Structures are given as structure tokens and as C-alpha cells.
Amino acid sequence: MNITLSVSGELETLVKSHRQIKWTEIAREAIRKEAKRMKKLEILQKYMERKPITEEEWDWMDEIDWHPVDEMNYKPEFVKEAMQASKSRPKRIKSLDELLK
């Protein structure tokens, strides 16, 4: 598919003054990024509505190492515990048994 973009004014001046930049590739990457974001939103909506996610969508999520849960907020209790743990001094573990207690 081909897309034609029209730019004018300040943007046109900027593009023309930097001919060394591959503007087509920048536009292509911006479209790719937005398409990925839209696909994530569609899958997230399905997930939130408890609708089935297709095998193809699961494969795509694995490919980009993403899951709808990644977009959800942490529970406040978890955040509080994590913040407290990050402020405390690390414990010295002398044995594997002590670690597994």
C-alpha cells in the first residue's frame, strides 16, 4: 500500500532542510508504532470484556513479549509492600534452607 503525505509550512521547511533524513522510514515507523498500539488496545478491550483471544493474537503477544495485564495498575497494597521492601536493608542469606523458609 502506498500513502501520500502532504506537509506544509514549518514542517515542510524542516523536512526540506534535512534531506539526509529518510523521512519515509520515519513515517513508516510512526505508522507501525501506532498500529501496534491500536492492536494492543483492541486485545486489552477483549481481555477486559472477557472475550476470547485468538491463537493468532496470543502468538503476536508472545512475539512482542506483551500481555494485557502489563497495562493494568498494581493493587495499592502491592505498591505499598514493594516500596517498604525497597527501603529496607537486604538480608544476608547463609544457606539455601534459610532462603526457602
Tell me if 2 is assigned to some domain. Answer: no
| 7-29 mean pLDDT | 94
pLDDT in tens, 47-66: 999 999 999 999 999 999 99
Q: Based on the structure, what is the number of domains in the chain?
A: 1
Angle at 26 between CA 20 and CA 29, to 5 degrees: 150
Query: What is the pLDDT, as a whole number, of residue 42?
Result: 96
Confidence check: pLDDT of 41 > 90: yes
Tell me if 4 is assigned to some domain. Answer: no
Tell me if 27 is assigned to some domain. Answer: yes
Q: Quickly state the pLDDT bin for 84 (edges 50, 70, 90).
A: confident
Cell readout for 24 is: 519515509
Tell me if 62 is assigned to some domain. Answer: yes
Are 68 and 47 within 8 A, CB to CB?
A: yes
| 7-32 mean pLDDT | 94
Tell me if 3 is assigned to some domain. Answer: no
Are 18 and 10 within 8 A, CB to CB?
A: no
Range of the domain at 40: 9-99
Tell me if 51 is assigned to some domain. Answer: yes
Tell me if 42 is assigned to some domain. Answer: yes
Tell me if 16 is assigned to some domain. Answer: yes
